[in-house]
Amino acid sequence: MTDDAECVFCRIAAGKIPCTAVLETPDCLAFMDIGPLAEGHVLLIPKAHVVTLDEMSPEQSAALFRHLPSLVSAVQAATGCEGVNVLQNNGRAAHQEVMHVHVHVIPRNPGDTFHFNWPAGRYPPGRVEELVGKIRDHLAGGS
Ligand code: AMP
């Protein structure tokens, strides 16, 4: 979990690439997204290089996510948006393009241009119980 010289968000955290910061602590940085999905789109990152959320310790994730309530509140107040999507793309299959953990705070308004495809499905008989068992086992094993 060392800083990665090739990582754009490590470079931003180190002050080697400029950003428009809105919040900085010893562990975290929040700054304006360079390609906003809406005006006021903010990114929150840990300064340490971690690729995906599942690689973070509970302490690291707590230090990051503790800023979300005030960040969401500030973005809502500043933009006057009616809602906010808090989005964390985790892994390339989930549309993560910058491989350093980050959380998007995206202002939303009725009729805006950001859309989800949300193809809600149904489980075949027995499948949800099978998955619940596996997830519980992994949680109990701490992995
Ligand atoms: P993701 O698809 O979740 O990996 O999103 C990466 C986000 O990082 C995108 O919304 C980009 O616009 C944003 N981004 C990439 N480079 C920069 C940068 N130098 N400054 C601010 N935002 C950036």
Quick check: 2 pLDDT over 80?
Answer: no
By C-alpha distance, which of 116, 106, 44 is closest to 81?
A: 106
Ligand 1 centroid to Cα of residue 118, in Å, is: 23
Active-site annotation, residues: 102
The tokens for 56 are: 């973070």
Ligand 1 centroid to Cα of residue 71, in Å, is: 17
Write out the DSSP string of 75-114. Answer: HHHHH--SEEEEE---SGGGT--SSS--EEEEEE-TT-S-
Segment 91-116 shows an average pLDDT of 97
Q: Grade residue 122 by pLDDT with cuts at 50, 70 and 90.
A: very high
- This prediction's pTM: 0.95
pLDDT digits 0-9 by tens, 30-86:
999 999 999 999 999 999 999 999 999 999 999 999 999 999 999 999 999 999 999
Quick check: 143 pLDDT over 60?
Answer: no
Q: How far apart are CA 84 and CA 77, in angstroms?
A: 11
Quick check: 1 pLDDT over 60?
Answer: no
Mutation probe of ligand 1 site: the residue of 11, 12, 39, 43 with most atoms within 8 A of C-beta: 43
Q: Grade residue 24 by pLDDT with cuts at 50, 70 and 90.
A: very high
Mutation probe of ligand 1 site: the residue of 98, 100, 106 with most atoms within 8 A of C-beta: 98
Q: How far apart are CA 12 and CA 42, in angstroms?
A: 14
Give pLDDT, residue 142: 62
Give pLDDT, residue 129: 98
Of all residues in the chain, the percent with pLDDT exceeding 90 is: 94
Residues forming beta bridges with residue 84, ordered by sequence position: 107
The 10 Å CB-count burial string (b at 16+, else e) for 54-85 is eebeeebbebbbebeeebbebbbeebebeebe
Ligand 1 centroid to Cα of residue 36, in Å, is: 9
Of all residues in the chain, the percent with pLDDT exceeding 70 is: 97
Nearest CA to ligand 1 atom 13: 33
Quick check: 3 pLDDT over 90?
Answer: no
Nearest CA to ligand 1 atom 12: 35
Q: How far apart are CA 128 and CA 16, in angstroms?
A: 47
